[in-house]
Structure 1
Amino acid sequence: MLLFNTAAADVFYKKQKTCPHCHSEHFSLSNHSKVLRFSILPIIPLSINYQHQCDACGYTSAVSWYSLPPLELASFIKYFIGLVLIVYILTKAILGIHEQADNEIRYLNEPKKFDTYFVYSDKFTGEPKRINNLKVAQLVEFDDKSMTFRVANYTYKYNKDIEIAMRTSMLVQDDYFSSKTMTFTKQQVKQFYEDNSIYKIMRPELYSLYGGFVMHPPKPKPLYAGVKLDKHNQQGITYFKDGQFKEAMESFTLSAKGGYSWGQLNLGQMYRDGQGTEINNEKAAYWLNKATLQGNPKAKIELAELCLSYDCSKLDTQ
């Protein structure tokens, strides 16, 4: 089937009538119109030709389009489906071009780091003109008066080659951009754009263009940083599990005096329970209160229970 072709159209309204020639009931509307199509998609009618035709005797009579039944007239829209699609696509393309141009002006006036510029190498960098004359420049610094770019080490012959480089995330490779930067005044950059030395400007979305990374995304924060462990407290826990309470007491004391809330909690519990030392509720309350003031949730509970049997009114709770 040819890409563009013509074909006869079908009739929508097929009600049978009485043939005026042979009086049979096989007299119906037939459509001999020609329609230009793209593959099977109708674009526009080339001719409108309707007839009444008798299947019994072959008698035909011409029918003007304005005398067609309303349902058949309403079906004319099918002839223009392709044309409507073409107009829609062209309109979208034209609007897209204007939108891109408006965005580029905005990017020039309101720059952001990593805005990506498509440039002609000879005009933008002053290098000799070559067959492969297209390059990528990326904005890395700017202020009210100047803009600083890093320029690609790679050159391209066609714009599609740049798009492929972006799709494959080549721009984040260590050797893609030169270590040297180029600084221009904002007026110079605007002049580059006006004389087409810069022929396209794009702003990355989610660190990417054309589906590939053009800048390194920030490293994600750890989902859970965990509790910062203190070596003295950890050693004290080991001693405690082994029943070496005096050694545990010494380790917890070092941890507590170092300001570690869990060490303060453990030391307070040992004073309360008399493990590794004599029972001393005053010191127990002191260290449990220290841990509570640092926001240790377990120390808060332990202190509240201790204060049921010990006067904690003298504690500094601020």
Structure 2
Amino acid sequence: MDDNKLKIPTQYYAYNAEEVNLIKSNAQECFPVWLDNYKHDHSVHWLNFHSIDCKEEIEDFATEMGLHPLSVEDIYTFVQRPKVEEFDSYIFFSLRSLEPNTTSLELKKEQLSFILGSNYLISFQEKKSDHFTDVRERIEFDKGRIRKRGADYLLYKLLEAIIDNYFEVIEDVQQKIEEYDIRMAEEDDHSLFKEIEAEKRQLIELRQVVFPLKELFGQLEKLNNIQIDEENKYFFSDLRDNCLSLLDEIESNKSILEGLGNIYYAIQGQKMNEIMKVLTIVGAIFIPLTFIAGIYGMNFDNIPELHYKNAYFYCMAVMIILAIAMLIYFKRKKWL
């Protein structure tokens, strides 16, 4: 491999119950250490790529590792559904990460791929991001049981971190729902319905990821493969239960958003009805006034009232009285 090319941000952890070794640098420094150690001791080895921008580098590394070419292609193939594939010496796993976006109505999306071997895990992140802060802290400061278990348990913790991102999307939607409820009651915001529909699309997108993931975790739980220890299969069952909870939350919040959308339409319809009612009342008042004005505006010579001394004032008085009478009538009918 050309050392001048190996600039992908990379982290390499080698740990066991007694110690942890960490290299935070780039592939140029991490690859040789990884290749020298991952086959020759009983530690767990985790190599994390923070970018896959340079496909040539990844292909060179895959060749050194003896990975199947299809695995490399899958790393660069945008997947709509999560997938798992078994190979002779490893399991390939890929899925999408979704996170709330504070600057847009679209979710932050990233594809993540994992290669699980007997004592190692390789993770590929589409772009530089930090989904696994909690996992790193657990390894570095020996929190929980992660340092005492194998690479399959590390995969479980990484997948759990991604599931937590999905829950963050749900929490963000719930917070937006509360805001929409307040805004709907306090202001006439014509962008509100657009935002409600955007949140619904986010939930639909999340459901499209979580639903097949639930089935996939079920497959991992039943998978008969030496890469996954029997006593750790329970944890993948726990991830499946989390997916079921997510699906329930998605449907619940989607129903609430649909209800808010219906309420928004009802409020807008009510406002339009109020406007139409006012216009109808104004029109009803002016119909008889227009009728009177039309009669005395005809071009006949013999209209006796036109020659009365105070005819204009009498006509105006009749029209005013008639208008007031109609307003009183509408008020008693509670149309005003």
TM over 0.5: no
* TMscore range, shorter length: under 0.3
Structure having greater relative contact order (Cα 8 Å, sep ≥ 6): 2
Higher strand share: 1
* Greater radius of gyration (CA): 1
Higher helix share: 2
